Amino acid sequence: MMHRFTSRLATISALSLALVLWTAIPAGAQTIVATVPVGTGPQYVAVNPTTNRIYVSNETSNDVSVVDGASNTTVATIPVGTSPQGVAANPTTNMVYVANRDSGNVSVIDGSSNSVAATITVGSKPIVVAVNPATNTVYVGNGDSNSVSVIDGSTNSVVATIPFASGPLGLAVNPATNRLYVITTGSEGVLSVIDGSNNNVITTLPSGSNSSQVAVNSTTNRVYVTNQMIGNVSVFDGATNTLLTVVALAQPPIGTFGVAVNPHTDRIYVTSFQPGANNLFILDGTNNTVAGTVPNIGAAGVDVDQDTNRVYVTNPQSNNLSVVEDSASAAASPTAAASPTAIASPTSTASASVGLPATGEPGSAMPAAAVFGVMLLAVGLVVRQAAHGRTSRD
C-alpha cells in the first residue's frame, strides 16, 4: 500500500515539476532589430510580402523610400508628388500606390522597376489609400473633398467617387468579403462599411472619440479602429457590423494613431504618442488584451509583413524606419469567420506561412521544443519512480 502511495506521489511530483518548468521558461519578446534611414518626414508605410519590400512615404522630401526587408537597407528612392501620405501595395500586381496630399493625385509605382508608371488625378487633399488585391481596386480618401476615389488598377483610371459627410482619415479593405471600411473626421468618429461590388454604403457605426485609422483581419473578420484622443482601440465584428469591445491600452497614452494586423498570428499593432515617449502596443486578437509594448518608437505609420512577422514603424522626427521582430507564436492560425460575400482571390506568388504561437507575454503558449522537453522530463521521472516502486515490492 505504501509503495503504491509513494508511486502516485512521485507521479504528482513529476507533473508538478513539469508545470513549474512550463511557467519558468523565459518567453520571447518584441525587439527592435534594425533602424533604417529613409527620407525626410516619413509618414506612412506599406509592405509587399511577396517581394519583401517596404515602402515609406516621405512628406518633406516628396519621395518614397524602398527598403529591402532581407537586408534592412534602402535600395531605392522614388520621387513622387507633393507631400506624399498614404501608401499601399498590391502584392499580386506588384504595384504601389501613393496619395500625394498637396498634388491632388496618386503616384503608381511599378515595384519591379522602382519607377512611377502613372499619375492619377483624384479629389482634393488625398491622404490615405487602400488596395483590394482580389479585385485590383484602389481606394483613395480625399480629405478636403469628403470623398473616396475608386480606381481600377488595371486601367489606372477613376471609375467611381463615394461621397461622405466629412473627410476620410482611414481606409481598410477586407479582400475576403469585398468590404471597404472608411473612418471619417469628427470629434466622434464614424466607421462606414462599403460594399465593394457596388460602392454603396451598407451601414455607419460610431467608432470612438477622434477616430483615426482602421485595419482588418481578413481571417477572423475583425475590424480595428484607433481612437486618437482617448488612447484606445475599438474592435468590430465584420460579419454583424457590431462593436465587440474597446481595448484600453496598458499605459494610456495621449492618443493612438496607426494600426496594422497580422492575420497569420492574430496580432494587432498600434502606434501611440505621448509627451516624452511614443510606444508600439501589441494586442492579442484572440482575447483583445495588450500582449506587449515596444517603448520609445515612432508614433506614425505602421505595417507588418505577415510572412516574416516583422513590424515596420515610421519615425518622422528622426527620419528613419524601425524594424521590430515580434516572436508571436499562436498555437494555430486564427479561426476564419464566415464571410458575407466571399470572392475568389487571384493566385499570388507569395508563399503563406502560418505564425507560431504568441510567446513573450504572461500566459502565452510555450514553444513546442520546450513543451516536448518538459514532457520528456516528466515522463522520465514517472517511469523511474514506477520502476523503483516495482523493485521495492519485489
Are 273 and 386 contained in the same domain? no
Tens-level pLDDT at each residue, the chain (394 residues): 434 333 443 433 443 333 333 333 334 478 999 999 999 999 999 999 999 999 999 999 999 999 999 999 999 999 999 999 999 999 999 999 999 999 999 999 999 999 999 999 999 999 999 999 999 999 999 999 999 999 999 999 999 999 999 999 999 999 999 999 999 987 788 999 999 999 999 999 999 888 999 999 999 999 999 998 888 999 999 999 999 999 998 655 568 899 999 999 999 999 998 776 788 999 999 999 999 999 888 779 999 999 999 999 999 999 999 999 997 644 334 555 544 433 333 333 332 222 222 223 322 333 333 333 333 333 343 333 444 444 344 4
The total of structural domains in the chain comes to: 2
Residue 334 counted as domain residue: no
What is the span of the domain harbouring residue 121? 30-326
290 is a domain residue: yes
Is the distance from CB of 10 to CB of 378 less than 8 angstroms? Answer: no
Residue 202 within a domain: yes
Determine, yes or no, domain membership for 199. Answer: yes
Mark which of 302, 326, 350 sits at the end of a domain. Answer: 326
Instruction: Please identify, among 273, 301, 326, the residue that sits at the C-terminal boundary of a domain.
Output: 326
In the chain, alpha helices (H): 2-24, 368-393
Q: Which residues pair with 324 in a beta bridge?
A: 32, 311
> Does the residue 14 lie in any domain?
no
Q: 316 and 369 share a domain?
A: no
All three cell numbers of 186: 469628427
Same domain, 134 and 189: yes
3-state secondary structure 210-270: CEEEEEEECCCCEEEEEECCCCEEEEEECCCCEEEEEEECCCCCCEEEEEEEECCCCEEEE
Same domain, 369 and 227: no
Residue 53 lies in a domain: yes
- Residues 383, 289 within the same domain: no
Residue 273 sits in the same domain as residue 383: no
In the DSSP assignment, the letter for residue 11 is: H
- Does any domain span residue 340? no
| Domain co-membership, 389 together with 299 | no
Same structural domain for residues 158 and 252?
A: yes
pTM, full prediction: 0.79
For residue 125, the domain's CATH number is 2.130.10.10
Q: How far apart are CA 253 and CA 272, in angstroms?
A: 6
Q: Which residues pair with 55 in a beta bridge?
A: 46, 66
Q: Which of 326, 353, 380 is the last residue of a domain?
A: 326
- State whether 184 and 306 are in the same domain: yes
17 within domain boundaries: no
β-pair type (42-48, 30-37): unpaired
| Same structural domain, 233 and 373 | no
Are residues 304 and 156 both part of a single domain? yes
**Same-domain check for residues 309 and 381:** no
